[in-house]
Amino acid sequence: MPADCQAFLVIDAGAPDAGPEQLAEVLRRQSVASVLLRGAPTREQVAACQGQGAAALVEGDARLALELAADGVHLPHNDDAEAAVLAYREARALLGAGRIVGASAGLVRHNAMELGELGADYVGFELTADEAAGLELVAWWTEIFVVPCVAFSATSPEQAARLAEAGADFVAAGPQGGVAGAIGVLASIGVPQGAKS
């Protein structure tokens, strides 16, 4: 397992197990680099993630990310490449250089390259039923580009390990299965908090 691959947790902010206290407890036990909060996150959830050293990202709403003092925004994949570029530019203009603007390219190489050239802090690739295509795309990206990539969304620890081996900088899991389920998928990525030096 590549030592530099990190865990990226995706949660439904309205889920019963996603309250600030539960999040803080989970993040105390498992090393997670970033938490993507989908739906309608609260300032308390953002603070719980940040308090445990994880970057808190809001999905699709840069203005809300600012209001909640989140670390940045994740822009979901948009099949319309021009709209994706416009969304990135608007988010960057609003958040500036000090916050994260990451974006998903689906499985489209051209979109990924365009987002990387624009200055995205990371490019996300969405896994499909064709895992081989996702693995090949991750390997291609990491061999050629410096911009980090996030592999969305692993469904098992074994798949997470394969994505890490392919070169993903981050492997994402969730929100299916809830916070505990996603953490279980990511257990082999990163280092448990208690083991950190």
Q: What is the pLDDT of residues 166-184, one digit of tens each?
A: 999 999 999 988 999 999 9
Strand, coil or helix: 2:
coil
Is this prediction's pTM over 0.85?
yes
* DSSP single-letter state for residue 18: -
Architecture of domain 6-195: Alpha-Beta Barrel (3.20)
H/E element holding 91? helix 81-95
If phi > 0 it is left, if psi is from -120 to 50 it is alpha, else beta; for residue 76 that is: beta
Instruction: For 86-140, write each residue's pLDDT tens digit.
Output: 999 999 999 999 999 999 999 999 999 999 999 999 999 998 878 899 999 999 9
Report domain extents, the chain: 6-195
Strand, coil or helix: 16:
coil
Residue for token pair 């445990």: 52
Contact indicator for 95, 73 with CB cutoff of 8 Å: yes
